[in-house]
Amino acid sequence: MTLTLDAGQLAARFGSVFGSAPDGVWQAPGRVNLMGEHTDYNEGFVLPFAIDRTARVAVRLRPDSAVRLLSTFGNQGLTTADAGSLVGGTAKGWTKYPLGVLWALQQRGLPVRGLDLLLDSDVPRGAGLSSSHAIECAVISALNELTGAGLDTQEMVLATQRAENDFVGAPTGIMDQSASLRGAAGHALFLDCRDQSVRLVPFDAESAGLVMLVIDTKVSHSHAAGGYAARRASCELGAAALGVRALRDVGPGDLEGAGGRLDPVTFRRVRHVVTENERVRQTVALLDSTGPGAIGPLLDASHASMRDDFEISCPELDLAVVAARSAGAVGARMTGGGFGGSAIALIPATAEQPVRAAVERGFAAAGYPAPAIFRVRPAAGAVRLA
């Protein structure tokens, strides 16, 4: 999926498809998570950043309740729906995201209203970079403004979470939409998922002579599939057995005592979440004090925890991490919900070509399809373009 159209071109294409100009064009980014995986729904800490890959929507409200949706990619063609009779679990492909947002806004009391929408995006789909939230955040930004709904960012985060959980059917947390709505160039977002408080933490790898590479394994994942929900259920089981509201309330010092109260699998799931929350805090402290070059060991430890304790990695992700590290990365880890998707590797700029070559060689030798490898930088969150 490649972004081919700027805002003016997208508006012009909208005009030729739907017969007149859109009311506006909005953009929202995908995200990479630097640290803090599967901690958000445990009311813990995360440290994602919005990336320089975006979804863009040209939107016009309609006087009736008809909804017409089209994208510049894929072969889904024009999708039509009635805003007055949206039912979760029935929409197909990418259209479930704008329809889910419309539905979630209606659940908050927004009047039923139709719209025409044209989508363009260069966030790779199924790659663990939150292409779905990029669409949802672009759409909610557009509808919030056009309908005068007046939601603040926190409310938009919760509305898109409701769209994901109850319309799309993916029991996800609040990390991805928070990054997409609140991201800022040159910064990662330190988010406390209990109270949604945030702090922007400088993360400028390139001024430190480093590059952040995404390695998209092309192993497609879906959070509406069973693995994500099973991990979430394990965490809830662990919290209940330990008598806490959420695993956020378990500290590293509690782990020894927890061992005797949990079955071995639940204990390992809990240990991942508890240690991952600590790694988020340690990463933030290192970024504040020393800079990006110091966080490599934490990236590595996070990957090991996801591979061994949370068991959400896969052979392709493990290979990407090992190959990147052996060719000079200062640290690497899978990013996102897991079971496929992408790894990130923080590397000295001078090691970029060796790392790319090592990963490509490793994938070819293992007989895996070639990965997509590209640089990412922390970028701005959702914005109106035209």
Catalytic residues, which ones?
176
One DSSP character per residue, 144-171 reads HHHHT----HHHHHHHHHHIIIIII---
Q: Can residue 95 be called a binding residue for ligand GAF (CB under 6 A)?
A: no
One DSSP character per residue, 176-230 reads HHHHHHH--TTEEEEEETTTTEEEEEE--TGGGTEEEEEEE------TTSHHHHH
Find the shortest distance in angstroms from Cβ 107 to ligand GAF.
19
Find the shortest distance in angstroms from Cβ 141 to ligand GAF.
18
SS3 369: coil
Query: What is the spatial distance between Cα 326 and Cα 110, in angstroms, rounded to a whole number?
Result: 53
Q: Can residue 40 be called a binding residue for ligand GAF (CB under 6 A)?
A: yes
For ligand GAF, which is the closer residue by CB, 33 or 144? 33
Q: 3-class secondary structure for 61-82?
A: ECCCCEEEEEECCCCCCCEEEE
Find the shortest distance in angstroms from Cβ 244 to ligand GAF.
19
Nearest-CA neighbor of 44 among 340, 259, 270? Answer: 270
Find the shortest distance in angstroms from Cβ 176 to ligand GAF.
5
Find the shortest distance in angstroms from Cβ 175 to ligand GAF.
4
For ligand GAF, which is the closer residue by CB, 114 or 173? 173
Q: Can residue 269 be called a binding residue for ligand GAF (CB under 6 A)?
A: no
Query: What is the spatial distance between Cα 236 and Cα 41, in angstroms, rounded to a whole number?
Result: 9
What backbone phi and psi angles, to 5 degrees, belong to 53?
A: -130, 130
What backbone phi and psi angles, to 5 degrees, belong to 49?
A: -135, 145
Which structure tokens are listed for 305? 């925890």
Q: Which of residues 168-187 bind ligand GAF (CB under 6 A)?
A: 172-173, 175-176
For ligand GAF, which is the closer residue by CB, 27 or 42? 42
CA distances from 343 to 60, 107, 331 (A): 37, 36, 11
For ligand GAF, which is the closer residue by CB, 135 or 351? 135
For ligand GAF, which is the closer residue by CB, 98 or 340? 340
Annotate each residue in 211-250 with x if it binds ligand GAF (CB under 6 A) or - if it does not, as one string. Answer: ------------x---------------------------
Query: Which of residues 37, 116, 316, 352 is near ligand GAF by CB under 6 A?
Result: 37
Find the shortest distance in angstroms from Cβ 32 to ligand GAF.
11
For ligand GAF, which is the closer residue by CB, 41 or 203? 41
- Host H or E run for residue 365: helix 352-366
In this structure, how many other beta carbons lie within 10 angstroms of the beta carbon of residue 117? 26
Q: Can residue 38 be called a binding residue for ligand GAF (CB under 6 A)?
A: yes
| Site of interaction with ligand GAF (CB under 6 A) | 33, 37-38, 40-41, 130, 172-173, 175-176, 223, 336-337
